[in-house]
Structure 1
Amino acid sequence: MNLRLFDFLSGLSGALDLMSSEVVGHHKRVAYIAARLGKTLALPRQERALLFMAAILHDVGGFTLQSRLAALSFEADGARHAELGYRLLRANPLLKEAAVIVRHHHTPRSRQAELDEPPRALELSCLLNLADRVDVLTLRSHSFDPAWVMAQIAPRAPQQFAPADVDALAVLAADPDFWAPLAGPDPVATLEEEPLLLEERHVSQAQLEQASTAFSQIIDFRSRFTATHSRGVAETAVCLAEKAGMADGQLAAMRLAGNLHDLGKLAVPSEIIDKPGPLDDQERAVMDRHPELAQGILSRVDGLETVAAWASQHHERLDGRGYPRGLVGTELSLGSRIMSLADVFTALREDRPYRRGLENGETLNILDDMAAQGALDGHVLALARANLDELDVRRCAAQNAAAREFREFYSGVPVA
């Protein structure tokens, strides 16, 4: 895979929009505003890169629609979702510096002296807070009125915002060209320097995989019943891909696809995900959209074409009776067939709201029936059967690690 970090983060930030039409574009607008402020302030290139990464993911800790909408209030406290966002990002070496900025993007400047954090990170978090509040103001008023925006912002310096940052905003606000991209669908696409700034960070494949793990937590940590699912699917799929003889690059793509295969479930309300029983027709229709939504997000990232296909086809069937596209066997690659079996295997073995996880023998019986009915690939199932002990040990280890992370993640977090 040949990925640009700018494209990867911009694409994944689009997944955060799936929660509601009311939050669509917020991350990209804030990232655009922050980037323009950073350039106007002549920040060093490394700081501008950090600011952009923090801005494009700043509300990543808003796991629920309620928390996302609350953050769109101008007076929002935001302490809980900012802390959760920090916890999601801090373990990734690529994002750990940006994580501190995310953690304090709702902390007023007047309180920053009390914090034991790198001073420059706090200054950048203050700048991100300003960019965030500017978008909230324009979103709430449904218009771009520079004088009105400045009238709301200026009195809050120096308590909430740094005076120099507000001065930089005043310069930008007087320029009509600053506001124009904010009315479009993707303002970050108009930025010329930020892609280069991020490429200077020399991102490794391992760091991209870690970033996908953070996003798997965003998907899974909304519910204790799904808290480990994506990690289990990813490990199961990689194990099967190894047994099928896939090359290292394909194994890396498989782990990314496993981590992100349920990305579209960010659009599914928690009430449906946690329902202790069968879904009704309306709920099933909402749930069944998630592979198509994942395809829409991932396919827009250059270099993720294979990942997008494998991730979005995990509910297709060889007989053409799957969804979302009803593809038949000749249209499904080996990677997609592996992902499909890995998803079913993991789902059967783990606890769900309506049942306990099944034992290996019962799981294999169900997989045999599904293969006989044309749902799963018999060759992939044979690989699973021949390597069942290793497959289950690796799946279990991955899910146990994710479960520990889930418990640690919420430890000490302020109550919503």
Structure 2
Amino acid sequence: MVFQHECQGPGLVYTEDSDFKVRLFDLVSALARSLDMVSQTLAGHHTNVGFFASRIADFYGLSSFEKRNVVLAAMLHDIGAVSLYPAVDSLLFEDDTIKHSIAGSVIISSSKKLHDVSKLVEYHHTPWEELRERKKHYEISNIINLADFIDVNTRRDRPARHQIPVLIELCRKHSGTLFNPDYVEALRESEAKRNYYHRLHSARAEKTLTLSTQFDSDILDAEGVLDFTGLFAKVIDFRSRFTATHSQGVAVTSSVLGRWLGFNEVEQVFFQIAGRLHDIGKLAVPAALLEKNGRLTKEEFAIIQGHATYTEHILSGIPGLEVIRDWACQHHERIDGTGYPSGLAGRDISLGSRILQVADVFTAITEDRPYRRGMDFEQTTKVLRQLGDSEKLDPIVVEVLIERYDEINELRSKGQNQALEHFSNYSKVLYSKYGIVTKDVS
């Protein structure tokens, strides 16, 4: 049977897959924003590098397809550093160029739309003279190397227009070895556009809008968005051994609950997307705090609570994802109004958000973590019913989960084991092919 709920409502904005469309660029831009939140050092870095790379590509005359790949790769180029170095307090990982480039390539290659992009990330720190001789097909990755060099060496406390000409001259000294001379010349020509450098350290929204207008052809349906959000889940979960695979557990649990509460197949995919995205704001929380093995102070707990607000900030930049955004951002709200970040209560919380809330708590207490085993059926039902009876969680959603406990828990466990297997395969590839050692999340 399908359960009915007083908050069921008339359905969602999108009832058919054909009604749901999201631009790939907007998803990449959101992921770039989340990567930049890991540390103040990275603030704006991925967007800046994408901005530089776009200008160099324009002045050099890349084809639209090549430019698309270069810019998307530039906006994600250090994604591997976040998984290899959870506490990114500086750009010192730039000294370990090969490892984080390869790690990033392996992560990005898991997305069907980004295979060519992943190869550019892999070679974005390879000197041009080596690319020219051995990897000619990926020579355009040198544009990312050049754009990255400029942004890393630009001081944020000084006007960019005074620094860029000096940095370009430094690049010219490495022309023919580290950098492609033609790319350096294209960068030099673009330097004449002073308004461009005035905008370099302007609001992120302005730079993103400038890039955004160039990428309207990559449109994803619900399944395409689900595939891409696997990257978000990997970045979130692999950063902390305490939450490894958690996002996938929430995704599976909420999707099954949605099915039993009357949501259609497309909407069930939305739950999977929301589950994968709900903790993206944790990238803004220090890794040491996420992995603290002990009681949190009041101040530390407040910092962790901030992740819900960061999640909203990141996802608000994705047109078409509004319903999913609300579900994901409200997973810590509570029916009695005691939740966060907005203190929503009662009917102000949609059924979709209520499902995410129950799925998040259920996954958190049933999954194994390095410091404790997950709860069994009796323990789990006791906790969930207490939360339902006290109007923290929706009691109807809680009862639907308990009635279908065996099915939901089995699928939750299977989904998380698959996510763990993906990480293990990622680790094995990095170690067997490149000798790169990742942290243990098992």
Q: Same fold (TM over 0.5)?
A: yes
1:322-343: CA deviation from partner (whole Å, max 9, x where unpaired)? 1111111211000000000000
2:104 paired with 1:99: no
State how far apart, in whole Å, the 1-side matches of 2:315 and 2:110 are. Answer: 23
Q: Which runs of 5+ in 2 are unaligned?
A: 1-19
- Listed as ranges, the matches of 1:278-357 within 5 Å are 278-357=295-374
Of 187, 190, 197 in structure 2, the residue corresponding to residue 172 of structure 1 is 190
1:126: which partner in 2? 142
Compute the displacement of 1:7 (Å).
1.9
Q: Relative to 1, partners in 2 of residues 1:324 and 1:48: Cα closer, same or farther, differing over 3 Å?
A: same
Compute the displacement of 1:190 (Å).
4.6
2:441 paired with 1:414: no
Residue type at the aligned position of 1:81: H
2:4: which partner in 1? none
Residue type at the aligned position of 2:158: H
2:101 paired with 1:82: yes
1:340-361: CA deviation from partner (whole Å, max 9, x where unpaired)? 0000000011123432111122
State how far apart, in whole Å, the 2-side matches of 1:128 and 1:2 are. Answer: 29
1:353-382: CA deviation from partner (whole Å, max 9, x where unpaired)? 432111122111110111111111111112
Provide the aligned C-alpha RMSD in A: 2.0
| Greater CA drift, 229-238 or 137-146 | 137-146
2:292 paired with 1:275: yes
TM-score by length of 1: 0.93
2:51 paired with 1:32: yes
| Greater CA drift, 227-236 or 264-273 | 264-273
1:234: which partner in 2? 251
1:262: which partner in 2? 279
State how far apart, in whole Å, the 1-side matches of 2:209 and 2:354 are. Answer: 38
1:186-223: CA deviation from partner (whole Å, max 9, x where unpaired)? 2533526x544x33244343222111111111000012
1:108: which partner in 2? 127
Compute the displacement of 1:135 (Å).
1.1
1:403: which partner in 2? 420
Of 139, 160, 163 in structure 1, the residue corresponding to residue 155 of structure 2 is 139
Residue type at the aligned position of 2:38: M
1:230-286: CA deviation from partner (whole Å, max 9, x where unpaired)? 001000000101111112332222111100100111011221212222222222111
Compute the displacement of 1:67 (Å).
4.3
State how far apart, in whole Å, the 1-side matches of 2:415 and 2:342 are. Answer: 30
Of 26, 29, 35 in structure 2, the residue corresponding to residue 10 of structure 1 is 29
2:166: which partner in 1? 148
Q: Which runs of 5+ in 1 are unaligned?
A: none
State how far apart, in whole Å, the 1-side matches of 2:151 and 2:86 are. Answer: 18
| Equivalences, count | 409
Contact 1:41 1:168 (C-alpha < 8 Å) held by counterparts: yes
| Greater CA drift, 333-342 or 248-257 | 248-257
Residue type at the aligned position of 1:90: S
Residue type at the aligned position of 2:159: S
State how far apart, in whole Å, the 2-side matches of 1:355 and 1:202 are. Answer: 43
State how far apart, in whole Å, the 2-side matches of 1:269 and 1:38 are. Answer: 35
Contact 1:106 1:129 (C-alpha < 8 Å) held by counterparts: yes
State how far apart, in whole Å, the 2-side matches of 1:375 and 1:66 are. Answer: 34
Contact 2:123 2:141 (C-alpha < 8 Å) held by counterparts: yes
Residue type at the aligned position of 2:333: E
Residue type at the aligned position of 1:404: E
Contact 1:3 1:303 (C-alpha < 8 Å) held by counterparts: yes
Contact 2:127 2:178 (C-alpha < 8 Å) held by counterparts: yes
- SS of 2:355 mapped into structure 1: helix
1:91-117: CA deviation from partner (whole Å, max 9, x where unpaired)? 1110111011111111112333675x5
TM-score by length of 2: 0.88
Contact 2:21 2:219 (C-alpha < 8 Å) held by counterparts: no
State how far apart, in whole Å, the 2-side matches of 1:72 and 1:181 are. Answer: 27
Compute the displacement of 1:224 (Å).
2.4
Compute the displacement of 1:21 (Å).
2.2
Compute the displacement of 1:141 (Å).
7.0
State how far apart, in whole Å, the 2-side matches of 1:338 and 1:256 are. Answer: 13
Compute the displacement of 1:176 (Å).
0.5
Contact 1:92 1:207 (C-alpha < 8 Å) held by counterparts: no
State how far apart, in whole Å, the 2-side matches of 1:202 and 1:368 are. Answer: 42
